Amino acid sequence: MSLPYVILGFLQYAPATGYDLKKTFDVTVRHFWPADQSHIYRALAELVERDAVRVEEIPQSGRPNRKLYHITERGRQELISWLRQPAAVSRVRNTALVHVFFAGNLKDADVLTLLEAYENGLREELACYRRIPDMLHDVAPFRPSKRESFFWMLTLEYGIVLVEAQLAWVRGVRKRIQAKQYVSTVEDLPEEGKAVREKKRRGR
C-alpha cells in the first residue's frame, strides 16, 4: 500500500495536518492514488505508532486542535527505502471493458451509446488533468526544484498520454461499429475455430 508513503513524501517538504494533506492529495496524486479523509487520518495514526511521524498539537478555540504532523528521521529512511523497491505491476479492474467483452448481447445502437458515455468520461478526465498545473500553484508550501517539478509533471504526462490512448481506441471502435466492420487490429479468432482446434489436437 502506497498511502503512508505518499504522506511521508509530502511531510518531507513541510509538516502538515490531515486536513492539509487531503487538500494536497486532491491536486497532486489523485489521478493515480486517490484517498479520502478517513484513509489519511487512519494512515497518520499508524505512522505515529511506528514513529515515522510525530504530532505537535496546536490548541485552537472553537474547532478541534490542529495536529501538525512532522516526519521523523525514521520516516525519512522508511520512505527512501520504499522508493527504491521496484513496484509490482498494478492490476487494473475496468468495468467498461467487461461491457465491451459481452457487448455481443446488445444491439449496435446500445453499444454505441455506452461507448459515447465512456468517451465523454474520458474527455472530462482529460480536462481535469489540464487544470492540475494551475491548481498546483495555489497549494501548500512546495517549492520544487526543476528536477522535482519534472517528476511531478511526468505523472501528469502519464495520465494524459494514457487517456489519449484510450480516446483514440474508443473513437476507432465507434467508427468500426458504425461502419459495421467488425474487425480488430488483433488477429481475429478464426470462425472455423472448431476445425482448426481439431487439427491442432490431431497434430499433437
Partner DNA sequence: TGCATATATAAGCATTTTCCTTTATATGAT
Partner DNA sequence: ATCATATAAAGGAAAATGCTTATATATGCA
Separation between Cα atoms, residue 136 and residue 18, nearest integer Å: 18
**CA distances from residue 202 to 92, 140, 189, 194, 196 in whole angstroms, order as listed:** 38, 68, 20, 12, 10
Residue closer to DNA by CB (options 40, 122) is 40
Smallest gap from Cβ 139 to DNA, in A, equals 11
161 binds its own copies (CB under 8 A): yes
143 makes contact, choosing from DNA, its own copies, none, with CB < 5 to 8 Å by partner type, with its own copies
73 binds its own copies (CB under 8 A): no
Cell of 152: 511531478
The interface with its own copies within residues 75-104 (CB under 8 A) comprises 79-80, 83-84, 86-104
Task: Please answer whether residues 3 and 35 qualify as being in contact, where contact means their C-beta atoms are separated by less than 8 angstroms.
Answer: yes
CA neighbor of 177 nearest in space, from 136, 138, 119 = 119
The interface with DNA within residues 64-93 (CB under 7 A) comprises 64-68, 91, 93
Residue closer to DNA by CB (options 35, 79) is 35
Task: Please answer whether residues 16 and 66 qualify as being in contact, where contact means their C-beta atoms are separated by less than 8 angstroms.
Answer: no
The interface with its own copies within residues 4-23 (CB under 8 A) comprises 5-6, 9, 12
Orientation of helix 73-84 relative to helix 3-11, angle to 10°: 130
Residue closer to its own copies by CB (options 147, 202) is 147
204 binds DNA (CB under 7 A): no
Residue 68's beta-bridge partner residues?
56
38 binds DNA (CB under 7 A): yes
Q: Given the rule CB under 7 A, which residues bind DNA?
A: 1, 3, 17-20, 23, 34-39, 41-42, 44-45, 60, 62-68, 91, 93
